């Protein structure tokens, strides 16, 4: 038996804004800087989903990569791509649209369907720009 | 004398939407697909500005790259980064926020200040995603 | 009116081999080196298709990017991805499977359907590895 | 003393196919999809080998990077580059040519020669496409 | 509560040389190869600083990314960018200018100011070229 | 007959400094900013050499890519990699070490040996950082 980690990259282009609704625009700017801009801004987000599991001796893989891709597209990308993270995404309602919170929310959405493939979710990584990324391991 | 081309890359993260205000959401979707989403989406845009000119025999360069970068940041990036292309950008008012129109508008904004450096604007290239980019040469 | 260039990147993973069927393996190795390996090798090819045209004043784009992508996928990618360039691809039959010949053949396949969109094919670029690429402009 | 991790990237372009020889083409397609294509396909694989060890106080490095590169090229790249993973590679005989199995096999090939440099093999990572990669840590 | 990892990339272009001052050029070449070249060479280094911490429930992030970037720029980049690692950098005096030693020295410089933000330094990664990088986790 | 363009990327890591020897350090700083730093700095330069020519109907390529790579390595890379552009490179003696001048000098070095392969040198492009590059077409 051998334990391997398989990572799939998917992408989504979305608008978002960092702000607390109970604060004024000025107060939000003090907390979140230009990321609080009231008219939104956006990113080409890159999502890296890592699953781990024993390599199936008969099939030679941890899990069918195509299946992993389909789960991510159905549960995550279809809800985020060409959308507004704050306004349109059911699993981000009432949550500050930071990269950290997005990674945690995506973990919660993916954990069960990934487990049903026989693998285990290991890491959700989101690259917001070429200079910033966040990783969440479920802890 | 030698003619060289110098390219500077700058980046901006912005929200936008493709739509015609006189049309309904459904009609805009028929024309522009998911890019017409009413709640906006966004991108990490990469902007490549190419200038050309004779290499200055005394200084060894076409133009001071730092000066080119400052012009692009002052005239373009400061207006687009962490902003909404449709709502916030003076030189995009009344213009469909396509990558083509953005490249043409940026050309018009940069042409004169680049000429004042002694070089000539050659190309404005905008990469919207890793799979799409537009080039405009002033024609 | 304004003339702009729009580029779409698509990818395909394919096997190929450089060889002349009338030569021995040794003779082919002398001509093509390790690229002539009889058991095939392969690449993640990146294909960049550039079209040019006037920006439509009403729609703000040269041509619908989604339409360009669909043409490339139907005419080119569906025939090359996860295939053998030498054995499986109708438009490469009887042609040495070099990057140059692949670019020329893809130009011939795309020229007419791109023209039917109202734009004009400008360049077919194929990146074979991170260190090598070929461009063909129809001349 | 300080424990550091050193990673070397090497590349190989190879053909492969996912299939079980005891099954028909149709059955293999059901299991492995287009990756089972009988005429092969291929990739530009990127291999990342991470070694760990105490930083040598006199030399300032974990291990001579050039030595690590030479080991990888001799033991792995020379056998895979411009080759067919299924047909040509001694350490992949009788093994399904998945990325997982390739990573495990490369680990087994590299573990001893890396140890002889004084460092320890930590991770073998293989990037098959820009969207997929596998990591193996020897467990 | 949720534990997340946040990574910031910063860059610096610097000259360096690997050598022991008590040795001759020939002896240094024997130890360090072309990296010992007496007239220096240089790199575009990429620095990835990863911090970890609980996601602040009120602000939705581990730590203000802008603050992390400012610390890295003030303490590290301002001392290394467009400089000579061997001659100009206070925290590298008397230390062999390997990537390993650079990562360890940057860790020591950043550990305290990162802790003062409320987060904890997790990893310093330095990419010297597209083929080589080093990671240090403080052990 | 068909005219194609073939590009080869090669890399070199080098130190350099922008300065005029007849000026003081302060005066050089006024002209060249931090690029004039007296103790040198450096870059991972990427060199893209584009050649053009008719595709050989018998061989399917413009020119043997391996031959192009060998010429570039022998004439250019061997002189620049792990070297100091100002001090070590014969074809840069007495020339300001800007990216423009480097591109022009490399053009002059490569023009004749490329012509002897039967192809024609079309462009020398040098990428100094991920944000800056220069192109020279021989004019």
**Residues of chain C contacting D34 with CB distance shorter than 8 Å:** 81-82
With H, G, I as helix, E, B as strand and everything else as coil, classify residue B26: helix
D5–E135 C-beta distance less than 8 A:
yes
| Parallel/antiparallel/unpaired status of strands D3-16 and D83-84 | parallel
Neighbour subunits, F (≥3 Cβ pairs < 8 A): B, C, E
Query: Would you state the pLDDT for residue D1?
Result: 87
**CA-based diameter of chain B, in Å?**
60
Q: How far apart are CA C119 and CA B134, in angstroms?
A: 14
Q: Tell which of C35, C41, C127 to mutate to test the D interface (max D CBs under 10 Å).
A: C41
Q: Tell which of B23, B134, B138 to mutate to test the C interface (max C CBs under 10 Å).
A: B134
Smallest CA–CA separation between B43 and chain F, in Å? 19
Contact A41, A17 (CB under 8 A): yes
Smallest CA–CA separation between D76 and chain A, in Å? 19
Active site residue D82: yes
Mean pLDDT of chain F: 98
**Residues of chain F contacting C101 with CB distance shorter than 8 Å:** 55, 60
C59–B134 C-beta distance less than 8 A:
no
pLDDT-derived band at D8 (thresholds 50, 70, 90) equals: very high
Give E58's DSSP letter: T
Dihedral pair phi/psi, residue B19, rounded to 5°: -165, 160
**Residues of chain E contacting A131 with CB distance shorter than 8 Å:** 8-10
With H, G, I as helix, E, B as strand and everything else as coil, classify residue C30: helix
Say how many CB pairs under 8 Å bridge A and E. Answer: 53
Smallest CA–CA separation between E17 and chain F, in Å? 9
Contact E60, A18 (CB under 8 A): yes
Q: How long a stretch of residues is chain B?
A: 139
| pLDDT (average), residues C32-54 | 98
The one catalytic residue in C35, C37, C46, C120 is C35
Q: How far apart are CA F130 and CA C70, in angstroms?
A: 31
- At residue B1, does pLDDT exceed 90? no
Q: Tell which of F6, F51, F72, F127 to mutate to test the C interface (max C CBs under 10 Å).
A: F6
Q: How far apart are CA B99 and CA C60, in angstroms?
A: 8
* Residues 6+ positions from B90 with CB-CB distance below 8 Å: B79
Contact C136, C108 (CB under 8 A): no
Active site residue F82: yes
Q: Which residues pair with B13 in a beta bridge?
A: B44
- Establish how many alpha carbons lie within 13 A of residue F72's alpha carbon, considering only the half-sphere containing its beta carbon: 24
Contact B62, F100 (CB under 8 A): yes
F7–C132 C-beta distance less than 8 A:
yes
Residue of B nearest to A86 (CA): B39
| Helix B65-72 and helix B99-115, axial crossing angle in degrees, nearest 10 | 130
For residue range A24-83, list pLDDT tens digits in order.
999 999 999 999 999 999 999 999 999 999 999 999 999 999 999 999 999 999 999 999
Q: Which among F35, F43, F81 is the nearest to E44, CB-wise? A: F43
With H, G, I as helix, E, B as strand and everything else as coil, classify residue C78: helix
Q: Which among A8, A10, A61 is the nearest to D100, CB-wise? A: A61
pLDDT-derived band at B43 (thresholds 50, 70, 90) equals: very high
Contact A9, B130 (CB under 8 A): no
* Residues 6+ positions from E99 with CB-CB distance below 8 Å: D6, D61, E126, E128, E132, E133, E134
Q: Is the dihedral of CA D93, D98, D104, D107 positive or negative?
A: positive
For residue range F37-79, list pLDDT tens digits in order.
999 999 999 999 999 999 999 999 999 999 999 999 999 999 9
Q: Is the dihedral of CA F83, F88, F92, F97 positive or negative?
A: positive
- At residue C1, does pLDDT exceed 90? no
| pLDDT (average), residues B28-49 | 98
For residue range C101-121, list pLDDT tens digits in order.
999 999 999 999 999 999 999
Q: Minimal CA–CA distance to A123: which of A133, A132, A131?
A: A133
Smallest CA–CA separation between A28 and chain D, in Å? 36
**Residues of chain D contacting C83 with CB distance shorter than 8 Å:** 37, 39, 41
B101–C55 C-beta distance less than 8 A:
yes
Q: Which among A2, A60, A65 is the nearest to D136, CB-wise? A: A2
Active site residue B35: yes
Q: How long a stretch of residues is chain A?
A: 139
Residue of D nearest to A2 (CA): D139
| pLDDT (average), residues D94-118 | 98
Q: Is the dihedral of CA F107, F113, F116, F119 positive or negative?
A: negative
Mean pLDDT of chain E: 98
- At residue A5, does pLDDT exceed 90? yes
pLDDT-derived band at B52 (thresholds 50, 70, 90) equals: very high
Query: Would you state the pLDDT for residue C31?
Result: 94
Query: Would you state the pLDDT for residue F96?
Result: 98
Q: Minimal CA–CA distance to A72: which of D132, B97, B44?
A: D132
Q: Tell which of E18, E95, E100 to mutate to test the D interface (max D CBs under 10 Å).
A: E100
**Residues of chain B contacting C7 with CB distance shorter than 8 Å:** 132-135
F55–C131 C-beta distance less than 8 A:
no
Query: Would you state the pLDDT for residue C127?
Result: 98
* Residues 6+ positions from B55 with CB-CB distance below 8 Å: B1, B2, B3, B4, B61, B62, F98, F100, F101, F104
Q: How many CB atoms lie within 10 A of CB A119?
A: 23
- Using left for φ > 0, alpha for ψ between -120 and 50, and beta otherwise, residue C40 falls in left
Q: Which residues pair with D45 in a beta bridge?
A: D12
* Residues 6+ positions from D81 with CB-CB distance below 8 Å: C34, C41, D11, D12, D13, D14
For residue range B103-121, list pLDDT tens digits in order.
999 999 999 999 999 999 9
Joined together, the tokens standing for residue D78 give 């020379």
Contact E17, E86 (CB under 8 A): yes
Q: How far apart are CA E62 and CA A127, in angstroms?
A: 15
**Residues of chain C contacting F7 with CB distance shorter than 8 Å:** 132-135
Q: How far apart are CA F77 and CA F45, in angstroms?
A: 10
* Residues 6+ positions from C95 with CB-CB distance below 8 Å: C101, C105, F60
Q: How far apart are CA A31 and CA A40, in angstroms?
A: 16
**Residues of chain D contacting C131 with CB distance shorter than 8 Å:** none
Q: How far apart are CA F76 and CA F99, in angstroms?
A: 14
A42–B14 C-beta distance less than 8 A:
yes
Q: How far apart are CA D138 and CA F18, in angstroms?
A: 49
Q: Which residues pair with F39 in a beta bridge?
A: none
Distances (CA, A) of A21 to A24, A26, A93, A96, B99: 8, 12, 12, 10, 32
- At residue F1, does pLDDT exceed 90? no
F131–B8 C-beta distance less than 8 A:
yes
Q: How far apart are CA B50 and CA B72, in angstroms?
A: 11
The one catalytic residue in D35, D46, D120, D122 is D35
Whether pTM exceeds 0.95: yes
- At residue E58, does pLDDT exceed 90? yes
Please enumerate residues of A whose Cβ is less than 8 A from a Cβ of E. Answer: 18, 31, 33, 95-101, 103-104, 130-137, 139
Smallest CA–CA separation between A60 and chain B, in Å? 31
**Residues of chain F contacting C103 with CB distance shorter than 8 Å:** 4
Query: Would you state the pLDDT for residue B69?
Result: 98
Q: How far apart are CA B30 and CA B20, in angstroms?
A: 11
- At residue A1, does pLDDT exceed 90? no
Contact A126, A80 (CB under 8 A): no
Give E61's DSSP letter: S
Please enumerate residues of D whose Cβ is less than 8 A from a Cβ of A. Answer: 18, 31, 33, 95-101, 103-104, 130-137, 139
Q: Minimal CA–CA distance to F41: which of D11, B110, E85?
A: E85
F55–C101 C-beta distance less than 8 A:
yes
For residue range E60-108, list pLDDT tens digits in order.
999 999 999 999 999 999 999 999 999 999 999 999 999 999 999 999 9
**Residues of chain A contacting E4 with CB distance shorter than 8 Å:** 100, 103-104, 134-136
Residue of E nearest to D63 (CA): E100
Smallest CA–CA separation between A131 and chain B, in Å? 11
The one catalytic residue in A35, A37, A122, A135 is A35
Residue of D nearest to C44 (CA): D43
Smallest CA–CA separation between B131 and chain C, in Å? 5
F11–E88 C-beta distance less than 8 A:
no
Joined together, the tokens standing for residue F100 give 């423009």
**Residues of chain E contacting F81 with CB distance shorter than 8 Å:** 34, 41
Q: Minimal CA–CA distance to D71: which of D8, D126, D135?
A: D8
């Amino acid at each position: 038996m051998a334990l391997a980690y398989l990572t799939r990259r998917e992408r989504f282009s979305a608008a978002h804004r960092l702000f607390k609704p109970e604060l004024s625009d000025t107060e939000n700017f003090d907390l979140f800087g230009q990321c609080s801009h009231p008219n939104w801004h956006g990113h080409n987000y890159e999502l890296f989903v890592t699953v781990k599991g024993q390599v199936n001796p008969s099939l030679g893989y941890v899990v069918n990569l195509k299946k992993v891709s389909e789960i991510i597209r159905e549960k995550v990308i279809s809800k985020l791509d060409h959308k507004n993270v704050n306004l349109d995404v059911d699993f981000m309602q009432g949550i500050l649209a930071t990269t950290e919170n997005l990674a945690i929310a995506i973990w919660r959405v993916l954990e069960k369907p990934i487990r049903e493939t026989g693998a285990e979710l290991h890491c959700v990584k989101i690259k917001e720009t070429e200079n910033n990324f966040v990783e969440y391991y479920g802890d």
